[in-house]
Amino acid sequence: MFGIGYAMGVIHGLAEKGVTFVGAPLLGTSAGSWAAAAVALDVDVQDLFALTVPSFPNPRPGVLAAAARELFGERTSPFVKVCACSLPRLRRTVFDGALHPIADLIAASSAVPGLLAPHTIDGVKYVDGGVRSGTSVDFGPDADHLHVIAPLAGAMWGPFRRFVDRGMHNEITRWKERTNGTVTLFTPVKVAADIAQNPRHLFDKSRALEAYYCGIDQARTGGDPV
């Protein structure tokens, strides 16, 4: 929930400045898949925060897909792509939101190992795309400019933050080499990172709302050119 809140805050803060992602190609991983879907399918942020959050750990298959269907139903979108990791080799797979219900893609990309059961698409089991990459920037669309929102990088805590940061910057380099485009990066500053001081806080709705407003404030002041 923290990642969804922060990402939606950045998106809405940029919209205040005239930067809109409606009708633009969107790539989401884990929490980013929820944010990408909400933008493409015009789902209100308050509906995201009203979402039924499953209890964790929850090994029952389909729990996350059911929650995603509360919001998105069986809708698809040609503007959304979602990254998940296939089992057993954890290969990153990018799904086209025009070809599958977005709810299924979100469930696959957000199935955190140890907390939620893998989600099956076309007979293959998938887990959270963040297992291999927090953002999968290197799979980003060809563009003159790319906005990257990484809720678990920047000032966030722990070794996972270092894993996300290192991989993301390598991926940004590869994307820039491929496209000759420019990148603006948004990661939580300390005031946002302090909202989620341990893993349990990432699933707390009230903290997600705080992260949303921090994301808005950060977008107003601008991201970091990379």
In this structure, are residues 74 and 103 in contact, taking their beta carbons and an 8 Å threshold? yes
Per-residue pLDDT of the chain (226 residues; tens, 9 = 90+): 899 999 999 999 999 999 999 999 999 999 999 999 999 999 999 999 998 877 778 888 999 999 999 999 999 999 999 999 999 999 999 999 999 999 999 999 999 998 999 999 999 999 999 999 989 999 999 999 999 999 988 887 777 778 888 899 999 999 999 999 999 999 998 888 889 877 788 888 899 999 999 999 999 999 999 8
Give the pairing of strands 91-96 and 124-128.
Answer: unpaired
Peptide bond into 57 cis (omega under 30): yes
Phi, psi of 116 (to 5 degrees): -135, 150
Dist. CA 224–CA 226, nearest whole Å: 6
Q: Count how many residues are written for the chain.
A: 226
Token pair 């296939």 in the structure block, residue: 86
Number of compact structural domains in the chain: 1
Six-digit token pair at 131? 């297992």
Q: Which domain holds residue 33?
A: 2-225
Task: Return the closest-CA partner of residue 112 out of 130, 96, 98, 94.
Answer: 130
- Number of Cβ within a 10 Å radius of residue 16: 10
> What predicted TM-score, i.e. pTM, was given to this entire model?
0.93
Task: Return the closest-CA partner of residue 136 out of 105, 103, 114.
Answer: 105
Token pair 């998938």 in the structure block, residue: 126
Six-digit token pair at 159? 């070794």
Radius of gyration of the chain (CA): 16
